Amino acid sequence: MRNVNLSKWSLGAIILLAVSCAVNPFTGRNQLALVDSGTVNQLAVEEYAKVKQTSKTLSPATNQNAAMVVRVGSRIAAGITEYYRAKGLDQYLSAMKWEYMLIDEKTVNAWCMPGGKIAVYTGLLPVTLNEDGLAVVMGHEVAHAIAEHGKERMSQGLAQQMGGMALSVALSSKPAETQSLFMSAYGLGSEVGAMLPFSRSSESEADKLGLIYTAVAGYNPSEAIPLWKRMEALSGGQKPPEFLSTHPTEQNRIKELEKQMPAAMELYKASKAGKAVAPKAVVAPKEWKKGG
């Protein structure tokens, strides 16, 4: 009887996963979608406010680095909007209510919640070194949000830890567990890497999209190469900084970024020249070269 029940549960889980997939318009990839956008966006607003209240944030009115974070984030947001408007996809960005903050902590980290809620930690700035380097990192994190990688791994967490229940049901029946799941899915917990790491494919996807977002914002995407070399030197063969805990090795990342760089540089040059990106010139994710 137990085997019969287990088989029924397995069949039910397979059916649930099959019908709970959605195509992300920005990547063209099917993703597990037990998390609805409206609920997760509201969670992001609430959790971002909590982080802001409980962290030492620096004001862009009085701190140059905080002003830089806002400046870079604003340019990325504007560039992405124009880029996707040329592709007829800007309507999918209507839920993006961009916010930016610099947190005064030595942690080498940055993240972006759904809806464009971005945080950068001061510990990252000695590694990014300059505005272009910061744009590379922020573009990468925004790419995670737009590709809905957090929603994807939160859905995976709901499937694995809560039997595949929908987010709204989980919030009402297991609020504490669901909040913890959200925090770890979006990079806000100290044990994120062990709990819900991004897959290597998601990281590569964010790298590729991040180069695009850096370029269309008018920042030099080629800064990605020395940036990741500095990250590699920072890890020194030891435990990597939090920002790198679930990422591909820097050497593999650099090889792949070098393959994608010519296309990204074309977008950068067009942006610097003040040229609109025509739909035919837009590089969609599926048009990027596949890694070996």
* Coil/strand/helix, residue 57: strand
Phi and psi, residue 121, nearest 5°? -105, 145
Dihedral sign for Cα 265, 269, 274, 278, please. negative
More confident residue, 131 or 30: 131
- 166-191: per-residue pLDDT in tens? 555 555 555 566 666 666 666 664 43
Is the pLDDT assigned to residue 272 strictly greater than 70?
Answer: yes
What pLDDT, on a 0 to 100 scale, did the predictor assign at position 72? Answer: 97
Q: Where are the domains of the chain?
A: 33-277
Question: What is the mean pLDDT of the segment spanning 73-95?
Answer: 93
What pLDDT, on a 0 to 100 scale, did the predictor assign at position 280? Answer: 35
Instruction: Give the largest CA-CA distance in the chain.
Output: 70
**pLDDT band at residue 199 using 50, 70 and 90 as cut-offs:** low
Active site residues: 141
More confident residue, 10 or 127: 127
Question: Percent of the chain, pLDDT > 90?
Answer: 42
The structure tokens 């590694």 sit at: 127
Task: Give which of 28, 22, 24 is closest to 286, Cα–Cα.
Answer: 28
More confident residue, 205 or 176: 205
What pLDDT, on a 0 to 100 scale, did the predictor assign at position 124? Answer: 95
What pLDDT, on a 0 to 100 scale, did the predictor assign at position 116? Answer: 95
What pLDDT, on a 0 to 100 scale, did the predictor assign at position 132? Answer: 97
Query: By mean pLDDT, which of 47-56, 111-120, 210-219, 268-277 is the weakest?
Result: 268-277
DSSP codes, 91-145: GGGTT---EEEEE------EEEETTTEEEEEGGGHHHH-SHHHHHHHHHHHHHHH
